[in-house]
Amino acid sequence: MNLKRAFPVMMLPLLLAGCGLRPLYGGGSASPVATTLAAVEVAPISGNQAGWLVRNALNDRLHHGSVPARYRLEVELDDQITGLGIATNNAITRERRILRARYRLVDVANGGVVLDQTASADAGIDVAASEYATVAAEQTTLERLTEMLSDEIVARIATYARRAADKTAPTQP
């Protein structure tokens, strides 16, 4: 093993510890982030299939047992498909699907909004000669976008939970 190359890699944890960085989910299932995420109830989401998919994806990521809800997550979706590429015969050859969400994390105890943000995900779709293939591609894209959107929302709630825990933690001399 080449020590010149290994030394910087071995020193990385020490350098990161000195700068105050900590893992977001550090502390396991008893951490402030994990307990906050487990205490989020996802309100029903309108938006037909997109709303159903996003709500299921959020529930998969948030619920970790039978913890009483401290927060309610309210989500409003906007799902758009726009034609981009146009062939010489005026047929659309490429589409862009954008799924946007405005979400609010509401404290159930007092009804106060503790987090109010937006998130979005988008992807391109090739329009095939077969209408069935195009519809299948649009469906697959929607499923992928709901997963991406849910991941982003949960990551932002986790960041909020970490910051809130850091504010309430006693400072060490």
DSSP 97-118: EEEEEEEEEEETTT--EEEEEE
In a domain? residue 8: no
In a domain? residue 164: yes
Q: What residue numbers bound the domain in which 142 lies?
A: 25-168
Torsion of CA 20, 22, 24, 29, to 10 degrees: -140
Q: Look at residue 108 in the predicted model and tell me its pLDDT.
A: 94
In a domain? residue 14: no
In a domain? residue 52: yes
Q: Look at residue 31 in the predicted model and tell me its pLDDT.
A: 74
pTM above 0.95, yes or no: no
Q: Which CATH number fits the domain that encloses residue 144? A: 3.30.160.150
Number of domains into which the chain is organized: 1
Tens-place pLDDT, residues 1-54: 555 555 555 665 655 555 555 555 555 556 778 888 999 999 999 868 999 999
In a domain? residue 140: yes
Tens-place pLDDT, residues 131-159: 899 899 999 999 999 999 999 999 999 99
In a domain? residue 124: yes
Query: Is the model more confident about 80 or about 89?
Result: 80
In a domain? residue 1: no
In a domain? residue 77: yes
Q: How far apart are CA 97 and CA 146, in angstroms?
A: 11
